[in-house]
Amino acid sequence: MNAVTGLRSSLHLVLRRERVHGAAWYVLTALLALLVAAGIASTYPTLASREALASSVNRSAGELFIIGPVASVDPGGVELWRILGAATIFISLASVSTVVRNTRATEEDGTSELSGSAAIGRAAPLVAVLVVTAAGSLLAGAIVTSGFIGTGAGVLGSTLAGAQITMTGLLGASLAALTGQLMRTARGATGVAIAVVAASFLLRGAGDVMGGDAFWLSPFGWISAVRPFAADDAAMLLPALALAALLAAVAVRVAAGRDLGAGMVAERTGPARAGRSLRGPVSLALRTTRGTILGWGVGALVVGVLIGGVATTVDTQVELALGSGAGSGSGLVDVALYLAPLFATVLGLQVVLRLRGEVASGRAEAVLSRPVGRDRWLLAHVAAAVLGAAIVLLAFGLGIAIASLGTFPGRFAPTAAAGVLRSPAPWVFITLGAVLLAVIPRAAAVVAYTVVAAFQALEFAVEFRLLPADALLASPFAVVPQAPDGAAHVWQTIVLVLVAATLGLLAAIAVRHRDLR
């Protein structure tokens, strides 16, 4: 029996698992990208408006770092400029989560041991999930290509734009395949992969700001250098494809030779007995999530410093005024602060929804066998998620404030507090995730992220004037304090806190008599 024996059976199993969850990640990301592209097309309908946009963006270090340069003033080029950065992140996350969920996570919960008792080669499950993620990436790319052609963009440029989306998914999948072999836990594999994706994104931004050959700093820079609708340099996809193939080949080679459940990076062994501070569910939740929260916090601080440092070079864009109906501004710092709760929401949902994996792996059983109720156990992780979201937002605001000391020294305190004041928005989604976990554990992640995506679609609809600005008042992201210069939204914030507390209480009541499997 060789390493890929039983590949067809493994492929069928992965397809069965991912027929809804995985497909939703890729399809919804592509459709959301097209929605944004359609909004851009209606916002900049004339050549003069697109030329003015390109001139403004390409002179602004902040815009270059956050989104990238406008390589072409064709309608397709402007549409691609607006969507490529966000699509890069979401498609990468789709591939990372799909690969880890079907490889390292199945080793943790014992599923791989059951399938491995049949005639299945050690590398067959990994190869199968790589094939499925490649198909999902191709599907997302095809949707983007078809959508761009449908808006009247050129066929060659549209095809290369879809190829960029596909290549991003392939890189994310191959990276997760390797981290899944290196790390012993699904949490560790996902964390390392996301950290590399984030670092690559930041390096891509730095390369766009520096210009010249600095795009070689990051694989995402290689993909951006294709420049559809301008240079149409398809050859720049080859280095990224070679890197993805190399990472995947190394991962398959390691998978074929390592023991089931083992990792190439050894885990540290802790003390034999827990300290006095580690005697309850809250302290345990904080202990097991501290690495994730610390990593996100440090990343938020660094990004905040970078944004604050380049904010003075960014000209205000009337067209980019997220949350205008709720009182936020249109400068780079205002927009960044407005978007920050979205990322804190992702962190919080990760912390809460990981409880599903704790149950599947059997680790929760060891905790719940003690005199710890399910409600206390769930609320402990909700508390860790709520605290983590606040820490990330505080770090982000603090980073902006530190970078702005030389320009606005008298505004340090309000700027530093601007992020953490927005915490009630992610708290609502975190507690909603807890309710979903207690009521529909298998579909909790899909439903929770779908709700978040729906509110983001509302943001884009308002940004592109498809809905009136007052429609944003239905979004938790828009009715938190828009510090330092926007509306306070005191009563709305109090309502959000009460809603979050109510959802947390409902989750605690619902989980008492539910099986999270």
**What is the mean predicted confidence (pLDDT) over 62-77?**
80
Name the average pLDDT for the chain: 82
- CA-CA distance, 324 to 391, in Å (whole number)? 26
- Please report, as a single letter, which amino acid is at residue 429: F
- pTM of the full structure: 0.73
Q: Give whichever of 203-207, 224-228, 322-326 has the largest mean pLDDT.
A: 224-228
Letter string b/e over residues 9-38, b meaning 16 or more CB atoms within 10 A of that residue's CB: bbbebbbebbeebbbbbbebbbbbbbbbbb
Q: What is the pLDDT of residue 323?
A: 42
**What is the mean predicted confidence (pLDDT) over 477-504?**
89
DSSP 8-class letter at 154: -
Which residue do the tokens 């929760």 mark? Answer: 364
Q: What is the pLDDT of residue 160?
A: 94
**Whether pLDDT at 436 is above 80:** yes
Closest CA to 351 of 292, 396, 295: 292
Helix residue ranges per DSSP H, 211-318 = 219-224, 237-257, 281-310
pLDDT band at 319 (very low <50, low <70, confident <90, very high): very low
Q: Copy the structure tokens of residue 120.
A: 């299945």
- CA-CA distance, 393 to 423, in Å (whole number)? 7
CA distances 335 to 228, 243, 321, 324, Å, are 27, 34, 7, 10
| pLDDT tens digit sequence for 155-185 | 999 999 999 999 999 999 999 999 988 888 8
User: Please, are residues 479 and 326 in contact by the beta-carbon 8 Å criterion?
Assistant: yes
CA distances 166 to 17, 127, 360, 465, Å, are 21, 18, 32, 30
- CA-CA distance, 92 to 96, in Å (whole number)? 6
CA distances 195 to 166, 168, 254, Å, are 20, 15, 21
Q: What is the pLDDT of residue 470?
A: 80
DSSP H or E stretch at residue 270: none
Q: Which residues contact 166 (CB under 8 A, 6 or more apart)?
A: 137, 138, 140, 141
Q: What is the pLDDT of residue 1?
A: 59
Provide DSSP, 29-48. Answer: HHHHHHHHHHHHHHHS-SHH
Using a pLDDT cut of 90, give the percent of the chain over it.
25
* 330 phi and psi angles, rounded to 5 deg: -120, 5
| pLDDT tens digit sequence for 255-268 | 888 776 666 666 66
User: Please, are residues 422 and 340 in contact by the beta-carbon 8 Å criterion?
Assistant: yes
User: Please, are residues 227 and 69 in contact by the beta-carbon 8 Å criterion?
Assistant: no
pLDDT band at 146 (very low <50, low <70, confident <90, very high): very high
- What's the chain's length in residues? 517
| pLDDT tens digit sequence for 118-137 | 677 778 888 999 999 999 99
User: Please, are residues 151 and 161 in contact by the beta-carbon 8 Å criterion?
Assistant: no
Between 235 and 209, the more confident residue is: 235
